[in-house]
Structure 1
Amino acid sequence: MDYTRLDIRLGQDLVKLVAGVDEFKGRWDALKTLAPDRLQSLRKVATIESIGSSTRIEGAKLTDAQVETLLTNLKTQSFQTRDEQEVAGYAEAMDLVFQAWDDMAVTENHIRQLHKTLLRHSTKDERHRGGYKTLDNHVVAFGPDGEELGVVFATASPFDTPREMEALVAWTQKAIREEALHPLLIIAVFIVQFLAIHPFQDGNGRLSRVLTTLMLLRAGYAYVPYASLESVVEENKGQYYNALRRTQKTLAEEPDWEPWIGFFLRALKKQASVLAARVADEDMREKSQQRLHPLSQQILELFHDANRLTLSQVVKLTNANRNTVKVRMRELVASGHISQHGKARATWYELERART
């Protein structure tokens, strides 16, 4: 693609979407008035959703609950299945972005570093972690029985990939530096081009979503870690692939940016809406908690340090009368602060917001 001829003109609807996302970006400082532990809880939920959704988009089967369990044992567990390896790698790549985004400009070295981290636990991908592809990896369609139906989209050849990646990164750095386009448009162009090149043998889709988070953080969208963009994409997977293909098929001649940029901006708007609703919900919970019985407040604090608790565990930790704890737990369930699972002796509880 000739980046010197790149021209993006947005219709009124897309201009409004950009303005809406930027408006939320400006409101975030006022919205993030929750206590640090509640912000941390929002971030934890969003991280689990992001990891689960991004890997499921590419065919993994682990649920968010299974992802959460796996992440709890991330440092000590060996990962036997392909799904577990992909989840562990995605978690570590996202953690690297969250920890070091301010020092990670969009360079080929950083892109390779993130790819290497992403596939760190994938035994099948050991030979090509962090290296550009050496074999064609065109996007193909498969039938219901797994038979290949044909090429849907021809990606860059292994020979052309280094040159095309160099050109894409150079354009991106220049556009950011010179503010040639709105930051959201720069990110959208980068992602659709990155996926058209498909520079790595495997992991391109997952890496594109890690890079999206990195670029949004570097562009000042500080709320990104607290709501999952990946889950929005997963919920609209068909539209996601359709928008990508419609734009990618036009890139060689006169690019039609509207399908992809429209999807990308609507996904960002939905992400912001989800976060705004969750912050409002947390505000209500916090105000409600201030009116709770002291023992009920004590019980809720226990759940900030534990994913789930049983009645016996709560009794032991609070050193309160068992019948009194039962009453308070029923009140917390009725008020929506915690949820109850199982029956009889197998009953356990968790914070209700962990499932939102």
Structure 2
Amino acid sequence: MNGTIITDIHSDTDLIQLIKKIEHLKKEVDTFRPLSPDVERRIFQKFRLDWNFHSNAIEGNRLTYGETRAFLLQGITAKGKPFKDYVDIKGHNEAIDYLADVIRQEYTITEDAIREIHKILLVESYPISAMTLDGNPVVKQVAIGQYKTMPNHVLTSTGETHYYAMPEEVSAKMGDLMQWYRHELAKGELHTLILATAFHHEFVNIHPFDDGNGRMARLLMNLILMQGGYVPVIIHQEDRQAYYAALESADVGELETFTFFIGERLIDSMTLYVRGAKGERIDDLGDIDKRIALLKKKFQLEHVVGAERTVETQKVFFENFLKPFSEILLTQLKKFEVFFNSSEYGVQYLKYDNELGRFYVISSQDITPLWDYLVDAYIINYKYSELITNK
């Protein structure tokens, strides 16, 4: 362990500056603590949803963000997706619940707890394809909550074989890792970011379980961060290759590269936390695409397809797309107000009158729909006047 740990960050100027930025953000985060229950629920629902989706997507889970959200928040499943993908999401979500209990109880993680998390994460045993040390393919049954009994080496991006700890080495190496962790935690000299990333890297190097090691490493890394007063890091599936490359750099002794990679994502998470604590939107523009995907799936479901347009189906459409899209649109349009002397906006709801054969308009200053009218369309009018010019 000691050979890969950064014990003197003063040798890396970029990492020093990153940690300073993290500490500056943490002070801001701490000013909002404790959050009100409603605000905390909103922020951590976002973290939890992103964490569940991306950590599983990195490992090949085929559920979309929208399908993941519909399953976790509403228990809705989509046709044509493997049952195991839903099992993986469920297990990961329950593993996060377990971490939350550990944090509340201020419990120091142990090997027994790690094996229990693995059991919760994987839910049930299943067969996986593997290869023996001499390259022969084999199918083995995953043992949940138990250390591996067969090698689980993999091919790296360069085509070379990366060898993890052999099964007979796992108990000793995991014991060493936990002893190192408790020792460094007690000393309090390593920054929490470094402690968490070093633990993540060494855990991956050991690869103690038949399957689920990547998800476990990210869960345990975030547990260390959260117990240290930080927020969970979300590694997005789009960053998968950069994530693996940073891990490979750590394999050759450059843990700084991996620590910097994780540190940047920690800044992203802390920034999101601050936005949420201030009451600002925490859905990014990309989430609109995810919401559209969810919306499409909702209307493809058996209980919705073929149904007439009702208040219920209209509300699904409005809540999952029109409302968040409109709020983001208005936020962006508002930024241009500094260039004009005045501005105003209004919303018009259009309802078709079958008897009269024409539309009538209901005007409002609110983007909340008028359900009783079951409107057919709505229009946002945003007007600027008198462009400010230098005379």
In structure 2, distance between residues paired with 1:27 and 1:328: 43
Pairs within 5 Å for 1:148-159: 150-159=159-168
Alpha carbon RMSD of aligned pairs, Å? 3.8
Q: Find the counterpart in structure 1 of residue 52 from structure 2.
A: 51
Q: How far apart are residue 276 of structure 1 and its match?
A: 2.7
- Does the 8 Å CA contact 2:99/2:223 hold for their aligned counterparts? yes
- Does the 8 Å CA contact 2:164/2:205 hold for their aligned counterparts? yes
Note if 1:83 corresponds to 2:85: yes
Kindly tell me: are residues 312 and 244 of structure 1, through their superposed partners in 2, closer, same or farther at Cα, counting changes over 3 Å? same
In structure 2, distance between residues paired with 1:38 and 1:138: 44
Task: Name the larger-Rg structure.
Answer: 2
Q: Find the counterpart in structure 1 of residue 256 from structure 2.
A: 258
Pairs within 5 Å for 1:91-130: 91-101=93-103, 102-121=105-124, 123-124=126-127, 127-130=142-145
- Does the 8 Å CA contact 1:104/1:110 hold for their aligned counterparts? no
The counterpart of 2:218, out of the listed 184, 192, 209, is 209
In structure 2, distance between residues paired with 1:150 and 1:266: 28
Q: Find the counterpart in structure 1 of residue 192 from structure 2.
A: 183
Structure 1, residues 30-79: CA drift from partner, whole Å, max 9, x if none? 235865323312221221111001100111111222112212356999x9
- Does the 8 Å CA contact 1:233/1:267 hold for their aligned counterparts? no
Q: How far apart are residue 29 of structure 1 and its match?
A: 3.2
Kindly tell me: are residues 69 and 179 of structure 1, through their superposed partners in 2, closer, same or farther at Cα, counting changes over 3 Å? same
Note if 1:229 corresponds to 2:229: no
Q: Find the counterpart in structure 2 of residue 70 from structure 1.
A: 71
Secondary structure (helix, strand or coil) at the match of 1:22 reads helix
In structure 2, distance between residues paired with 1:43 and 1:194: 26
TM-score normalised to structure 2 length: 0.64
In structure 1, distance between residues paired with 2:365 and 2:155: 54
Secondary structure (helix, strand or coil) at the match of 2:9 reads coil
Q: How far apart are residue 265 of structure 1 and its match?
A: 1.3
Q: How far apart are residue 186 of structure 1 and its match?
A: 1.1
Ranges in structure 2 where 5+ consecutive residues have no aligned partner? 129-140, 283-308, 316-347, 352-360, 379-391
The counterpart of 2:148, out of the listed 100, 113, 133, is 133
Amino acid at match of 1:89: G
- Does the 8 Å CA contact 2:148/2:208 hold for their aligned counterparts? yes
Amino acid at match of 1:31: F
Kindly tell me: are residues 332 and 120 of structure 1, through their superposed partners in 2, closer, same or farther at Cα, counting changes over 3 Å? farther
Q: How far apart are residue 160 of structure 1 and its match?
A: 1.1
The counterpart of 2:273, out of the listed 275, 300, 303, is 275
- Does the 8 Å CA contact 1:86/1:119 hold for their aligned counterparts? yes
Q: How far apart are residue 106 of structure 1 and its match?
A: 2.4
Report the more deviating stretch, 103-112 or 131-140: 103-112
Percent sequence identity over matched residues?
27
Note if 1:9 corresponds to 2:30: no
- Does the 8 Å CA contact 1:38/1:282 hold for their aligned counterparts? no
In structure 2, distance between residues paired with 1:34 and 1:314: 34
Amino acid at match of 1:244: L
TM-score normalised to structure 1 length: 0.70
In structure 2, distance between residues paired with 1:165 and 1:110: 13
Structure 1, residues 228-258: CA drift from partner, whole Å, max 9, x if none? 622x44332221110101111x2xxxx3222
In structure 1, distance between residues paired with 2:45 and 2:250: 34
In structure 2, distance between residues paired with 1:233 and 1:170: 31
Structure 1, residues 152-208: CA drift from partner, whole Å, max 9, x if none? 421111111111111011001000011131222111111111111111110001111
Q: How far apart are residue 273 of structure 1 and its match?
A: 2.2
Aligned residues: 292
In structure 2, distance between residues paired with 1:106 and 1:168: 12
Kindly tell me: are residues 73 and 4 of structure 1, through their superposed partners in 2, closer, same or farther at Cα, counting changes over 3 Å? closer
Q: Find the counterpart in structure 2 of residue 39 from structure 1.
A: 40
Q: Find the counterpart in structure 2 of residue 312 from structure 1.
A: 311
In structure 2, distance between residues paired with 1:314 and 1:35: 32
Q: Which has the higher strand share?
A: 2
Ranges in structure 1 where 5+ consecutive residues have no aligned partner? 143-148, 285-309, 317-322, 348-356
- Does the 8 Å CA contact 2:68/2:89 hold for their aligned counterparts? yes
Amino acid at match of 1:114: I
Kindly tell me: are residues 315 and 164 of structure 1, through their superposed partners in 2, closer, same or farther at Cα, counting changes over 3 Å? closer
